[in-house]
Amino acid sequence: MSSEIPKLPGLQKQRIIDYLKQGKRFDGRTLEQFRDIHVKLGVSNKSEGSCSVRIGKTEVYAGVKLDVTEPYSDSPKNGNLMVSLELSPMASAEYESGPPKIDAIELGRVVDRGIRESGFIELDKLCIKEGEKVWQIFIDIYAINDDGNMMDVAALAGLIALAQARMPSYNEEEEKVDYDNLTDKKLPLNKESMAFNLTIYKIGDSFVLDPTKEEEKCASYRVSLAVSSHKGEPRISSCQKGEESAVGLKESTELLSFLESNWKHLYPKIFKHVFESK
């Protein structure tokens, strides 16, 4: 991201904060309401699973590639996972071309951690030969347009691409992966452990979900939580705080209450997008 991020004029920022305090938003949504979610599958013929996800005007493409490699020394029976995310000037004038900057690195790590720590991928089932050969999963995410809440959009795209991915054929004798012949076998995913990323923004005195870019620039902090279902109740598997303002104890309790009340109706919708998109 460029070093000089354009800031909102003070009057515009105050109008947004004041309007949110009344429980209103300039696009007509409630504070908890997501913009419409649109999913398109199979956007890449070079990946084992791919999709585009658009929430409002924020859009990303995601693709999954698989390869055979050596396992990490501390997990000889487990497959590997790697997530990368690219923020290009095409998505926003605030982004620069070149190597990933801190924002792209943070986004990739948040998506990675949410998937990894939830146990969504059964990595132990990706072992070909213990200590020698395992499948490695690459999730590549590309920002097409950034109009706020890139973190949740990117995370959802990663989940859907994983759910769509099919295993390629592998000739163990020749140690060759045949990407031209994908099998009908899907990745080993534990549906019950699926965690979706929900980012809560504190703007003025209000908690807000799925902000537009203008609303996002008014936030004093954000907290991204990967949340799965455990016996019908939300279970947090990872957490990432952003921006400078601190979160007090009382505010933490209010934030978690806000999370719980919105998770209950959002989780079924996200689950459907991940596993039933066509």
Quick check: pTM over 0.85? yes
**Confidence class of residue 6 from pLDDT cuts 50, 70 and 90?**
low
| Own/partner long-range contacts of 169-172 (Cβ < 8 Å, ≥24 apart) | 170/68, 170/128, 172/128, 172/133
Q: Are 147 and 55 in contact (CB under 8 A)?
A: no
| Domain region containing 263 | 23-276
Domain assignment of residue 107, yes or no: yes
| Dihedral of alpha carbons 89, 37, 240, 188, sign | negative
Residues 37-78: pLDDT tens digits?
Answer: 999 999 999 999 999 999 999 999 999 999 999 999 999 999
Domain assignment of residue 179, yes or no: yes
Domain assignment of residue 206, yes or no: yes
| Dihedral of alpha carbons 157, 158, 159, 160, sign | positive
pLDDT at 8 over 70: yes
Residue type, 84: S
Which stretch of 44-48, 145-149, 244-248 has the lowest confidence by average pLDDT?
Answer: 244-248
Domain assignment of residue 4, yes or no: no
Residues 176-205: pLDDT tens digits?
Answer: 999 988 999 999 999 999 999 999 999 999
Q: Name the CA dihedral angle for 87, 92, 97, 99, rounded to a multiple of 10 degrees.
A: -30
Q: Which CATH number does the domain housing residue 121 bear?
A: 3.30.230.70
SS3 243: coil
Domain assignment of residue 82, yes or no: yes
Per the structure, the count of domains in the chain is: 1
Residues 84-129: pLDDT tens digits?
Answer: 999 999 999 999 888 889 999 999 999 999 999 999 999 999 999 9
Domain assignment of residue 12, yes or no: no
